Structure 1
Amino acid sequence: MDIIDYTLIAGAYLLGSLSSAIIVCKLAGLPDPRGQGSGNPGATNVLRLGSRKAAAVTLLGDMLKGLLPVLLAVTLQVSPPVLGLVGFAAFVGHLYPVFFQFRGGKGVATLLGVLFGFNLWAGLATAATWLFIAKGLKISSLSALVAMALAPLFVWLFAGAQWALILATLAMVVLSFWRHRSNIARLVKGEESLIGKS
């Protein structure tokens, strides 16, 4: 790797560290999402605070900070391993943001943004899976978990045997599942809340 590669990876992490939920809530005059609802600085928790507009902006912001650094890396024609690392760095920045005491979100929207950067069709397939399950069951975490579990398969199907991208996607999925461990426990107990509910 050269200085451009390292700069892209570091820049992706720093961009990922900009917490859309915290910034949007502050600008909208809403409470800090880390101290309300589920305590997670993500779009679903912002929705719980009662603002669909703020939740939509948060979702878009989280996706873009995964998408933009990957698109820049693609434009610069970096190698697949570096591209995978750029996406992973943006994702890790969201989970562990240097600007917010390393207290970040669970990474679903940022992972989706990274996937769109890796391959448009892999991103669309993952998003469609989330929307289909969310529409039917109204459980955000379950929809996200199923969609993320299928994401490495979608990357393989649509991007081919790009193993660096598949492994980067798998690593992001594992980390996000770890961050969803409390949701998984509630799902097992049948206690997980519905979308838009406390």
Structure 2
Amino acid sequence: MKEYLLAALISYLLGSIPFGWIIAKLKGVDIRSKGSGNIGATNVYRVVGKTEGFLTLLFDLLKGLAAVAIFSGLFPNHTYMGVVAGFSAVVGHDFSIFLKFKGGKGVATTYGVVLLLYPLAALVGMAIWIAILLTSKYSSLAALLSFTITTIIAIAGKIATVNKVLFIILLLLMFYRHKENIARLIKKEEHRIKI
């Protein structure tokens, strides 16, 4: 039990590292007061620049991947370790202790987590994410549709039931974090991004 608690705590702290805020701050920008106010890659891309947006995306993805990889590797005999570490990392990103429990929307970090738990579903989802983003220019729509498809693939696949449950929980959390975007999409007021 203590191993799971340790993994949950450290993964949460790892997920809490606000790379978007840090990268923007290095450019003299407080990303929380610009654009949508979100610390994620899309807002950093819009406000600071393409390179900074890409780096935010990359580091946010890597912290999710790292949490699962580190603790699954350290405790290979603990069946639920990847699930606990992955979920904790996404919660850390969404509700960062370093930003008074505010954070991003968890898309890149979520994909980093599931990339190790079910690589095929994750890679298909990421390809769909990019395709929808390029065609629609709606970052939120691309994220929600792609991870919905990713989750369907996972549920239909031959993976542990606990992993399938994690996919569903992460999908619900992603929809919750995008509730304002969903409202704007319905009203046709959502902002497109320039690619």
TM-score under structure 1 length normalisation: 0.92
* Cα RMSD (Å): 1.5
Cα distance in 2 for partners of 1:154, 1:69 equals 23
The structure-2 alpha-carbon separation of the partners of 1:78 and 1:187, relative to structure 1 and needing over 3 Å to count, comes to: farther
> Equivalent pairs: percent with the same residue?
37
What's the counterpart of residue 39 of structure 2? Answer: 41
The structure-2 alpha-carbon separation of the partners of 1:122 and 1:80, relative to structure 1 and needing over 3 Å to count, comes to: farther
What's the counterpart of residue 60 of structure 2? Answer: 62
Cα deviation 1:5-57 (Å, max 9, x = unaligned): 2211211000000011111111232x211111011110000011141111111
Q: Greater CA deviation, 103-112 or 73-82?
A: 73-82
What's the counterpart of residue 52 of structure 1? Answer: 50
What's the counterpart of residue 126 of structure 2? Answer: 127
Structure 1 runs (4+) deviating above 4 angstroms are: none
What's the counterpart of residue 89 of structure 1? Answer: 88
- Structure 1 residues without counterparts, runs of 5 or longer: none
TM-score under structure 2 length normalisation: 0.93
Alignment match of 1:167 (pick from 162, 165, 168): 165
SS in 1 for 2:183: helix
- Structure 2 residues without counterparts, runs of 5 or longer: none
Cα distance in 2 for partners of 1:78, 1:8 equals 14
Cα offset, 1:78, TM superposition: 4.4
Cα offset, 1:66, TM superposition: 0.4
Cα distance in 1 for partners of 2:77, 2:136 equals 40
Cα distance in 1 for partners of 2:189, 2:94 equals 24
